[in-house]
Structure 1
Amino acid sequence: MATEKRRRRLRLSQSRRLWLPHLTPFLAHLSELPNAKQRRRRAGGRRGGLFPFSCAHPVPTARVVPLRPNRGRRRRRHSSPLRCYHCSKKMVAAAFTVDLDKPLVFQVGHLEEQYQEWVHQPIVSKEGPRFFQNDVLEFLTRTKWWAVPLIWLPVVCWCLSTSIQMGHTITEVAMMVVFGICLWTLIEYVLHRFLFHIKTKSYWGNTAHYLLHGCHHKHPMDGLRLVFPPAAAAILCFPFWNLIKLFSTPSTTPGIFGGGLLGYVIYDCTHYYLHHGQPSSDPAKHLKKYHLNHHFRIQTKGFGITSTLWDHVFGTLPSTKSVDKST
């Protein structure tokens, strides 16, 4: 028994003499490689794997699951925006390179005709880009979602109280509010379809479009640039007020305007929730899928945010098959 043990030790020592000289340089090389903590420090504290993706992914996190056996062998064809999904620091279109580490607003105009293709290649990240070098202008482009109801709901109350003080009953004012909300859904659709998705190729056209809506398609999960900044919304209030004055009386104009403004508040809060919320009810889930289909599959369909009514009316409803695929 002792002889057998000595033989095993001898064979082990002989094998060590063979592979140890080759293993030592390899171990020395491994010791020089950065560990996981050092890699995160070099990457600015970001973790690898699915962690950063799942935090910013627009689909409910319950659907981000580990790959099941043999699932990786299936070949699937993604939509154009999903095929172009990446988070690189530089993006090349035509002969101009957009540097994502620099303020973007005055860069995108140089893309010319390639701008439309570039702006619909989304970058899914919780951290939005910088727009302006000037800190004041940069501050004006960032808005918390709760600022919308905080600023505009008092204005809604003032408008409704004005119509009541001018002799209208609460029932009549309630009807004005309902009409104003319905009017807003139409304005929401028209603005989204014909203004926000206008085709541009000039320098200033691309720049204006990026500020107005292109930035949202480029960075759909940027929570600070998802709702309208109060300054921009205030500018749009003037033509909206004058539009209502064309077909209403002086006493009904404030009530209808207040209803439309309430519709806008509902729209902006709903829009934010569709991107960052995790709905549990079936109608909310369907609305979220419907809107994400507009972002990541068919940008020329599905312009309604709070309702799909006007997509039905004007024939811009995406096919049921494409909506189901977005699930």
Structure 2
Amino acid sequence: MSSVLVRRQVLVGVVLVVAIVASCGAHLLLGDYTVSLVDFVAIVRGDAVPHAPAARFLILDDRLPRVLLGIVVGCSFGLGGTLFQLVLRNPLASPDFVGVSALSTTAVVAAMALWGVSGLALSGAAAVGGVGATALVMAVSSGRQATTRFVLSGVAVAAMATATTQYLLSRMSIYQASAAAQWLSGSLHAASMDKVVVVGVVLMVLGGVTVFLAPGVRMLGMGDDVAAALGVAVLWVRWLSIGVAVLVTTTATAASGPVTFVAFLSGPIVGLLLGGRSSLVLSALMGAAIVCVADAVSVLVLPTPLPVGVITGALGMPVLLAVVVSYRRKAGL
């Protein structure tokens, strides 16, 4: 790895960390109720702040869980989406488009509607949906050109899952539908430290697995034949990487709802900044930066706060169109 690339990676990493810290700091201290940095430190340390009685509740029960959940959810989406894109060698192969997020959403809505499931139990429903989507897509995409068939099969599964979700919403009570609609928009509003711990632990464990998979994943980018010639167990690396991506994204989806386009955007933006090279660590940081900045803008800038998924969706659509146009040009269409 050249020194120029290393310096660029370090620079991008520093910028992303600064963006995360700045957006989270602004979210914690500013807003309708401002909190001084001194009071914030005192609250976190457990000291009494008698002149600001509402600050403790606001920080510990609302703002701090929200920004921490934004960080771990963003990292999860960034890591999972980039793993999909690298092992399938397709920038459109993100959980947003291959059915994983869609069927996870369907499973969560079904758990809400049919069994009244709520809280952390939704993580299990989301994981079942994501694993089910992956198994279904894998079953119909084996053989030659499996990566292309995987993406196309995933699009079909996503369409089926979306239709099923809409049907379930139409059969729910008004109260259930309202709660589901807030979750479906991709919101950090219902953040809690329990969710932060669950998503954070899953992210750390699967992130550790990714460290061992990373060399093989990079070689897959050169093609299956080249990777196999270099000693990579192509099928094992590909499907184990997809399994990691599914679990990390479905856990994040259960905690925050489907925050659209974060998984899709993170890897390509990092690739653009690194001159076409990829980095799983920087992609995870990019996902966290996108979510944290979008949520801070929603709360502090917009006159009416919006779910973070609405903002990331608005950001991702033009990028998606640009990717499609780029593919058409490369194909000479």
Same fold (TM over 0.5): no
Q: If the length of structure 1 is used for normalisation, what is the TM-score?
A: 0.29
TM-score (norm 2): 0.28
Q: Between Structure 1 and Structure 2, which shows a larger proportion of helix residues? A: 2
